């Protein structure tokens, strides 16, 4: 059993920052690709960022490049998403996900485990 729990969401004004955390339990995932996705009502869950198991490679959707930073601390079984210069369009429920057995991917269906999400609301 693997559990992922997000934290750090909240309400922030446009231009502000939030740092999301995703803590894994149940087993180690140091060799797992980790990703962040987000979803708003009526839309599909969309890819935001991913990080390789070593942390040496990252991938971001164009809309967050230069503003968001994904990182991981394998010793703590935790992945982070630092979100700066937040915009109202970033408002969504943010989910962390873990993918074991493959390379970095943006494909939702390839991720094996998901957290329950944390709400991020950016006001204008």
Specify which residues 21 forms β-bridges with.
7, 80
> Which pLDDT does position 72 carry in this prediction?
93
φ, ψ for residue 9 (rounded to 5)?
-70, 170
**Model confidence over 55-81: pLDDT tens digits?**
889 999 999 999 999 999 988 989 999
> Which pLDDT does position 32 carry in this prediction?
86
Spans in the chain with pLDDT lower than 70? 28-30
> Which pLDDT does position 29 carry in this prediction?
65
DSSP assignment string, 5-44: EEE--EEEETT--EEEEEEEESS--TTSEEEEEEE-TTS-
> Which pLDDT does position 89 carry in this prediction?
96
User: Distances in Å between the alpha carbon of 69 and those of 27, 44, 64, 83, 120?
Assistant: 25, 22, 9, 7, 16
> Which pLDDT does position 53 carry in this prediction?
85
């Amino acid at each position: 059993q693997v559990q992922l729990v997000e934290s750090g969401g909240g309400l922030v004004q446009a231009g502000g920052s939030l740092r999301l955390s995703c803590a894994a339990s149940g087993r180690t995932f140091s060799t797992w690709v980790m990703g962040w996705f987000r979803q708003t009502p009526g839309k599909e869950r969309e890819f935001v960022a991913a990080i390789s198991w070593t942390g040496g490679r990252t991938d971001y959707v164009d809309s967050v490049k230069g503003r968001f930073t994904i990182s991981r601390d394998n010793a703590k079984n935790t992945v982070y998403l630092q979100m700066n210069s937040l915009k109202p369009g970033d408002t969504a429920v943010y989910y962390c996900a873990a993918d074991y057995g493959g390379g970095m991917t943006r494909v939702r269906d390839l991720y094996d485990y998901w957290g329950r999400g944390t709400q991020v609301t950016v006001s204008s």
